[in-house]
Amino acid sequence: MDSITYAPATGALSSMWLLVAIPALSATVLLLLGRRADKWGHWLGVASVLASFVLGVTYFLQLRGIDGTGNKSLSVDLFEFIHIGDLNVSVGLLFDPLTAVFVLLITGVGFLIHLYAVGYMSHDPGRRRFFAYFNLFVAAMLLLVLGDNYVMLYAGWEGVGLASYLLISFWSDRPAAATAGKKAFLINRVGDVGFALAIFLMFATFGTTNYADVFNGVLASEAGQTVSAGVLLAMGLLLLLGACGKSGQFPLQTWLPDAMEGPTPVSALIHAATMVTAGVYMIARSQVIFNANETAQTVVVSIGALTLLIGCVIGCAKDGIKRVLAYSTVSQIGYMFLAVGLGGGAYALGIIHLLAHGFFKAGLFLGAGSVMHGMKDQEDIRRFGGLWKYMRITWATFGLGYLAIIGIPPLSGFFTKDPIILAAFNREGWTGWLFGSAALLGAGLTAFYMTRLFVLTFHGRPRWQKEGEGGAHAASATDAHGAHADAHGAAIARTEDGRDIQHPHESPWIMTVPLMLLAVGSVAAGWLMSTSVVDWLTPVFGEHEEGHAHLTHTQVTIATVAVTVLGVALGYLLFRGGTSLVEQPARTHLVRAARNNLYADRFNELVFELPGRLLTRALVWVDNRGVDGIVNGLAAAFGGGSGRLRRLQTGYVRTYALSILSGAFLIVAALLAVRLG
């Protein structure tokens, strides 16, 4: 690959900072004005994202106007951020074909979701605050994709983490929401530490954090063998850790389903269309680093394959409509990771699947919100049924999203998922068969659980009518499973408070119009994207010839459509008659494990939380007794005549001895760590 250069932006593009500044300013205004802005604040929020979208389209057109040989990577250097010794970080932005598609996705789908939220949040007293956080999120996300160095990417990265925390715990008086927000932030922080360390390693290795300089450094080092493979592998894996945190990939996936505690538009914006795709963006952006190390790529592919299966399996066992969609998101992002990990031509496939997913998953989440809106916030799919008669638009748009995600031709999912499965099969060696089969199996499972979701929600016998009986069942279900009170437990409880599910109703136009537009996207986008967007991205990812082939495209298409149809048929046959209202005892270990999120939460609890809690408690005790006592004793001995202090430390000699010992041990251990270098 030739060395990478970014040309200075000219014309309209030199003002690309406006993309970030407008929503950030809007968020600030909304927060500072407080209640004074309650009446019109949401419209300011919508307008600011619309403005960013219009700007994004303008910039896109300018970029498109650059003819074939011109440099399509345009950067603008705003001001110096940090300059100490060799470290030179500026606040600089970059607009290239990859950034362009993300900007259009974030602002375009983001605008529709903002519009929808005007209706969805219309009864919420905190709507202005909600839109402030929403704008903050869009600003941070745009900074993430626009930055021209890793520090800016990191700033946007943590910024979206903050916004997602605020949005997930938006109804923070509900303990579950507060806890879910905190969990999301913490798990993301684990990933962020990996990302930060990757940046430190880049600086130590190449003396820079700018994209172009780091990538050229990697390319030069490949030629001259100046950087060991281990360093590049470490860099790739640390970046991957960050990406797994943000994108909800194994082993950091557990925060994402809990994040459904936030209002539904949040789920759509953050956990479907944009934020969780940040990890995919980061890997695609860092393609030079990943291309340079095959092991790192294999790890990315493996994580993608594993996560897509984890998401499918758990998705089959969940009963909350948003939970199923959440796990489906985990699974679909697994496909994207799989694609970008395959490298070469598959980078672009990952990106087009991401774009298609942005449309259909946002549509599905908003559709779910529309269903819940019409059902008094009920989210248990066992308590829906037959809703197609009552909410036709939601049913039709949700249906299109459903057909798109399972990959029925000619909807978008087909055009984007099918090539990924093909690319996976055609990976060199036996791993191609392994990853290809995983992707194929995932397609079948996706068809199954999405059919279950769709049929239980919209078809079959209505199961929401008999109030009294349902309530009793719900209560017993909550009792029986009180131990692991899941979100659907909470949902049932909320419905019981309301007690009266009136007639289900369709949502107002401000919610259904975005649904229809997103549905149009789900139908058309894939076909558009599978050709033009791939070409569009060529300047970023380079040209790629077809490699080695295990299977032909036709063979894979037939296989994919076959497992999909099988999944749909199975799902339809099992669930067309509805399902029981309470959870049935699990007959197999797999079902039990899937209901418990494959024990990922239990694992975190046992391995991190519990020891952590014990450790902090023990340390608090030691610090109050031991360390304090010893130093007090010393201080008393030195200070002399400090009878008051001496009296305080009576008879803890054994504690002191133990503390001195463990303190000495701690210092020796730390010294060893320092010596390691």
Partner 1 sequence: MKYLSLMVVIPLLGALVTAFVPKHKPKTAKIVALVVSVIVLGFTIAAAFAFEAGGDRLQLSESYPWIPQWGLRFSFAVDGIALVLIGLSAVLVPLVILASWKDADDDGTGGRRNVPTFFALILALEATMIGVFAASDVLLFYIFFEVMLVPMYFLIGSYGGPRRQYAAVKFFLYSLVGGMLMLAAVIGLWVTAKDGLGHATFDWNEIVALAQGGGIPGDLQKWLFLGFFAAFAIKAPFFPFHTWLPDAGGAAPAGAAALLVGVLDKVGTFGILRYCLPMFPEASKYFAPLAIALSLIGVLYGALLAVGQTDLKRLVAYTSISHFGFIGIGIFAFSSQAATGSVLYMVNHGLATGLLFIVVGFLVQRRGSQSIADFGGAGKALPLLSGVFFIAGMASLALPGTSPFVSEFLVLIGTFSVNKTVAILAALGMVLAAAYILWMYQRTMQGRLNPKLAELAPMKKDLSLREKVVVAPLVVLIIALGVYPKPLLDVIEPAVSSTMTDIGVSDPAPTAATGAEK
Binders in 190-209 for partner 1, by CB under 8 A: 190, 192-193, 196-197, 199-201, 203-208
Q: Which residues contact 136 (CB under 8 A, 6 or more apart)?
A: 23, 24, 27, 159, 162, 163, 166
Question: Among residue numbers 91 through 120, which ones bind partner 1 (CB under 8 A)?
Answer: 91
Reduced to 3 states (helix: H, G, I; strand: E, B; else coil), residue 8 is strand
Report if residue 38 touches partner 1, rule: CB under 8 A.
no
What is the enclosing helix (H) or strand (E) of 80?
A: strand 74-84
Tell me which of 120, 137, 185, 365 binds partner 1, using CB under 8 A. Answer: 185
SS3 352: helix
Range 386-415, binding partner 1 (CB under 8 A): none
Among 58, 221, 596, 655, binds partner 1 (CB under 8 A): 221
Distance CA 385, CA 489 (A): 19
Q: Which of 87, 493, 590, 607 binds partner 1 (CB under 8 A)?
A: 87
Q: How far apart are CA 121 and CA 167, in angstroms?
A: 13
Residue 299 sits at φ, ψ, to 5 deg, of -65, -40
Residue 539 CB, nearest distance to partner 1 (Å)?
Answer: 19
Considering only residues 84, 428, 482, 651, which one is a binding residue for partner 1 as defined by CB under 8 A? 84
Q: How crowded is residue 129: how many other Cβ atoms within 10 Å of its Cβ?
A: 20
- Does the protein bind partner 1 through residue 79 (CB under 8 A)? yes
**Residue 610 within binding range of partner 1, rule CB under 8 A:** no
Q: How far is the CB of 190 from partner 1 (least distance, A)?
A: 6
Residues sharing a CB contact under 8 Å with residue 459, sequence separation 6 or more, in sequence order = 385, 386, 388, 576
* Residue 83 DSSP SS3: strand
Which of 21, 39, 17 has its CA nearest to residue 30?
Answer: 39
The tokens for 527 are 């076909």
Query: Count residues contacting partner 1 (CB under 8 A)?
Result: 89
- C-alpha angle 97/543/11, rounded to 5°? 25
Member of 33, 47, 57, 155 binding partner 1 (CB under 8 A): 155
Stretch that binds partner 1, among 225-233, 263-271, 424-432, 528-536 (CB under 8 A): 225-233
In this complex, which beta carbon is closest to partner 1, that of residue 219 or of residue 434?
219
Q: Examine residue 150 and tell whether it contacts partner 1 (CB under 8 A).
A: no
| Least gap, CB of 538 to partner 1 (angstroms) | 22
What length is written for the chain?
A: 677
Residues facing residue 49 across a β-bridge: none
Q: Which of 429, 497, 589, 673 binds partner 1 (CB under 8 A)?
A: 673
Selected binder of partner 1 within 41, 45, 119, 159 (CB under 8 A):
159
Per DSSP, 500 falls in state -
CA 573-577-578 angle, to 5 degrees, is 110
* 25 interacts with partner 1 by CB under 8 A: no
* 377 lies in the site for partner 1, by CB under 8 A: no
18 is an interface residue for partner 1 by CB under 8 A:
no
Kindly identify the residues of this chain, within the stretch 619-648, that bind partner 1 according to CB under 8 A.
Answer: 619-620, 623, 627-628, 630-632, 634-636, 638-639, 642, 644-645, 648
Among 68, 580, 589, 674, binds partner 1 (CB under 8 A): 674
Binding part of the chain for partner 1, among 377-385, 399-407, 543-551, 616-624 by CB under 8 A, reads 616-624
Looking at beta carbons only, is 538 or 642 nearer to partner 1? 642
520 near partner 1 (CB under 8 A):
no
3 binds partner 1 (CB under 8 A): yes
Taking CB under 8 A as the criterion, the residue among 219, 513, 524, 528 binding partner 1 is: 219
Question: Which of 202/366 has CB closer to partner 1?
Answer: 202
> In the stretch 645-664, what mask flags binding to partner 1 with x, by CB under 8 A?
x--x--------------x-
Query: Which of 7, 82, 493, 610 is the binder for partner 1 (CB under 8 A)?
Result: 82
Pairing state between β 74-84 and 7-8: parallel
Bridge pairing between strands 87-95 and 74-84: antiparallel
CA distances 528 to 358, 411, 415, 523, 616, Å, are 14, 11, 9, 10, 55
Q: Which residues pair with 82 in a beta bridge?
A: 89
Which ranges of 225-293 does DSSP label H, i.e. alpha helix?
Answer: 229-247, 255-258, 264-268, 278-285, 287-291
Contact 348, 293 (CB under 8 A): no
Candidate residues 1, 25, 50, 227; the one interacting with partner 1 per rule CB under 8 A? 227
Task: Give me the residues paired with residue 320 across strands.
Answer: 380
- Contact criterion met (CB below 8 Å) for 309 and 224: no
Closest CB to partner 1 among residues 155, 233: 155
Query: Which range, of 107-115, 168-176, 282-290, 475-483, touches partner 1 by CB under 8 A?
Result: 168-176
